[in-house]
Structures are given as C-alpha cells and as structure tokens.
Amino acid sequence: MSDWSLWLEATGALAGAGGVGYARARAPRVYWSTVGLPLTWGRFAWSYRSTMDVCGLTVQPTGLRAFMTRNLARREVRPVAPKVRRIRPTSTGLRVTLRLPAGLEPVDVAVSSERLRHAFGVQSVTVAETKPGYVELRMTGYDVLRRVRLPRKARPRELVVPVALREDGTVFERDYRKMPHALTLGANSSGKSMYQRNLVMGLAKLPVGLVGIDCKRGVEHSRYLPRLSALATDPDMAGRLIDALVLEMSERFDLLALHGVSDLWDLPEKLRPVPLIVLVDEVAELFFVTSKKEEAARDRTVMQLVRLGQMARAVGIYLEVCGQRFGSDLGRGATALRAQLTGRVVHRVNDKQTAEMGLGDIAPEAVVSATSIRVDRPGVAVAGDTSGGWSRIRTPETTPAQAAAVCREYAHLTPELPFLASFRPPVAVPPMPTTPPSVPQP
C-alpha cells in the first residue's frame, strides 16, 4: 500500500473521529442515535445478568425451579434476575421493562439506580413502576438538561401547560386539574423567574383568567399586563384583591349548590365560570410588616389566602406561589398555606433549610438533589408532589421580551371579569419613535 493511501486512510479516520466528537458535543441527539444507542444496547445485553447479580437484584430460585434446573436441564442453579420483557429505544435514551421475580420490590431497583447508571454507562437511570410486578428502567444516554428544547408536540391544552424537561427526556407539565396549587422556591438568579415566564407563556394561550400579585411594585408581572385580568402591586392592594377572590369563590360555591354539583367541571359549559390562575410573586412580601398596626391587615390577607388554598380548587381558582423562602419563620399562617400547595418546584437555594421547606415534607430524599444544583445551571430544579415522586427538571431559556410578546399576541383571550375591573391597570401603549429633525448638509 502506498504512502498516499495510508495518508488518505489516516485523514479519513481523523475526520471521522472529529465528526463523532463534534456530534457528541454539539448534536447529542444525533450522536446518541448513531453511536451511543448501539453501544449502550450491546453493553446492556452483554452485562445484564452479571450487573443484576452484583447490584443485589437477584433472588434465589424456588425449590421446584432449582430441582428442574439441576436434574432436567443439567445446569448450575443460579440466582434469578428480573426478566427483560421489552427494550424500547428513544431519541434520548433506552427504556427497559422488567418483570420482577418474587422477593424483589420496585424500591430495591430504585435504590440501585446509581450503580446501574455506572454499570451501563449512561447519564442517568430512573425507575418507574408501570404495574404490579413490573418496573421500567428509563436510561438517559446524555445530559438532556444541558440545552433544553421542548418537543414541538408539547403544547398547552385544557389546564395542562408544558413548562420544562425532565432529566429522563420526558416533558414536565403543570396540570392544574391534578395539582391545583403549587409552590416554587429559589434563590436570586436560580431560574425561578424563567420558570414563571414559561408558565405564563403557556397559560396565556389558554382560555383562563390570570391574576397577578407582585408586591415589588409589579416589576415582574407588569410585562404580562395585556393578558392579566388584575394586578396588585403592593400589600394593601393585594389584600383587597384576595378579598375579591374569596367573595368570587363564595359566589361560585352558590352556583354549584344551585345546580347540585360539587365541582366546577361538572357544570354545563355555558354556565361554567372561567378558571382563574392566581400568580403570587415573592410571597414573603405579604407577610412582612413594618409596624404593629399593620399586623391585623397582614393576618387577614394571609388567612384569606389560606382559605383560597383550602377550598378554591373546586370552583376553578388555582394558586401559583413563588418565593425565595417559605417557612414558619415568615409568620402566622405560613405553614397552613404551604400545606395546601401540593406541587413543589425547588430551584437552587442558599441553604438546606429552604430545600427542606419545599421538599422535606413530601419527598425527603429529594432535598440532597436540590442542594446540589450548580450555580452555572439556571433553570435546573427539583419538582415533587405529595405522592412522594420527584425528578430534576430544567426550563428552556426564555427572555422577558419573549414572554411579553406572547401576552400581547393572546391579549384577546383575556376574559372580562367585572369583579376585577378595578384591579386592572390600563395597558401602556409604547410611544411611537420620533424621527429626529434632519440636519441640513453644509
């Protein structure tokens, strides 16, 4: 073989290696589909039984099975591993359905997920119980949270809003029918506002009413004005707005009683009031007072908010509460309100106590994950609910201008709600740019 041929082959090999490296760094989906998936599938098939044995995910066979194996099959009796029922590749990983033998539980597999991740050489392994006796290993081949892009088919519908991407490649959705109220915590620059922007952008496209409570003079929610039915910008206005919502809640309960139903969605569509989403930014501002005479008004506002959390779900009023910290140290009523917020999303926090406030009472094992979020990864959070399940998520990067543009585009969906008319400030129209006078040329 000539030197020229050797040079061409070496150049081609280097170009191929460079292309694979580039795809792995810049196009991970392409790399996974062409290189990562075949390698991982082969590694899984080759090492599955030994891996299960080393991870302690095997059980001793029954007496009958051991007798049949020893005397009829003439083979050595070995521990029984979960039986692989199905292997399904995805664009981000590999999903394997396992049938658990008697003596193994889903929690046993979940405890070994970190060891399985290293054994199969994947980014992460999560375990989900699909039905009694069956679990699904959801293996992710690469870091899907590095660059987040929601699938095109992930669109808002009814009261379901796709907000973020889970680390297993599935879409995290905010479903107000399943989790009517939620709490979002996070330090400054953790991505909490970005999460709220994505949520508002999805809600703006739905036929719902949006109510904003932003006691920081409306600096966050004012850009959503074209799509808001009401906005409170200080604690006094927030108190009056919450009183109006409680009165509306009472009237809606009267409507349910009149028609003999117990839920807003059981009413005929033509009689059904519009659902309301109450967005509370920096909830601690509702608790802080500067003088003794303000405490009575503060306590009333908080108790009214607790009433909404306890009863408003049935009449289609939902709470979305955000803050940096949320615990008993805020004052009277804080713990009672937090107990009503079933959905929890915790971004990067400054101390472990804050993570425990958000997740400690529903998913204690998720607290460690929340405290390990890196500073250079804004938008990464841990999402949990009262079922005990939790997952790491990340919201797509969204600018305030993008959220404002969506609110303007769907401003025609803003419902006319007379009881909130006094709380809706006029939408400012941006001034037309003026043309500077022309300067005559010398």
- Residue 135: phi and psi, rounded to 5, are -130, 160
> In angstroms, rounded to a whole number, what is the distance separating the alpha carbons of residues 283 and 192?
13
* Amino acid at position 89, single letter: P
Q: pLDDT tens digits, residue range 332-348?
A: 788 888 889 988 999 99
Inter-residue long-range contacts of 85-90, CB under 8 Å, 24+ positions, other chains counted: 85/134, 87/41, 87/44, 89/37, 89/41, 90/169
Q: How confident is the model at residue 63 (pLDDT cuts 50, 70, 90)?
A: low
> In angstroms, rounded to a whole number, what is the distance separating the alpha carbons of residues 324 and 62?
54
Give residue 240's pLDDT: 94
Mean pLDDT of 211-216: 92
Extract the tokens encoding 169: 């490649």
- Integer-rounded Cα Rg, in Å, for the chain is 28
Q: pLDDT tens digits, residue range 34-58?
A: 888 889 999 999 999 899 988 889 8
Asked if residue 12 has pLDDT above 60, the reply is no
Cβ pair 185, 362 in contact under 8 A: no
Mean pLDDT of 258-279: 93
Mean pLDDT of 139-150: 85
- Which one is predicted more confidently, 122 or 27? 122
Extract the tokens encoding 201: 């952008």
Q: How confident is the model at residue 435 (pLDDT cuts 50, 70, 90)?
A: very low
190 CA to centre of own chain: 14
Pairing of strands 134-140, 124-131: antiparallel
Asked if residue 29 has pLDDT above 90, the reply is no
Give residue 405's pLDDT: 94
Q: How confident is the model at residue 8 (pLDDT cuts 50, 70, 90)?
A: very low
Q: How confident is the model at residue 27 (pLDDT cuts 50, 70, 90)?
A: low
> In angstroms, rounded to a whole number, what is the distance separating the alpha carbons of residues 278 and 213?
7
- Residue 438: phi and psi, rounded to 5, are -70, 140
Give residue 440's pLDDT: 46
Distances in whole angstroms, Cα of residue 364 to Cα of each of 42, 347, 389, 390:
36, 15, 10, 10
Give residue 363's pLDDT: 77
7-32 burial code (b ≥16 CB/10 A, e <16): eeeeeeeeeeeeeeeebeeeebbebb
Half-sphere exposure of residue 442: CA atoms within 13 angstroms, side-chain side: 0
Q: Phi-psi bin for 189: left (phi > 0), alpha (psi -120 to 50), beta?
A: left
Q: pLDDT tens digits, residue range 405-428?
A: 999 999 999 998 999 998 987 765
Cβ pair 380, 145 in contact under 8 A: yes
310: enclosing H helix or E strand: helix 295-311
> In angstroms, rounded to a whole number, what is the distance separating the alpha carbons of residues 94 and 86?
10
Asked if residue 25 has pLDDT above 70, the reply is no
> In angstroms, rounded to a whole number, what is the distance separating the alpha carbons of residues 317 and 298?
21
Q: How confident is the model at residue 151 (pLDDT cuts 50, 70, 90)?
A: confident
Where do the H-state alpha helices sit in 163-266?
192-203, 235-259
Q: Which residues contact 303 (CB under 8 A, 6 or more apart)?
A: 333
Cβ pair 201, 362 in contact under 8 A: no
Give residue 432's pLDDT: 44
Give residue 437's pLDDT: 45
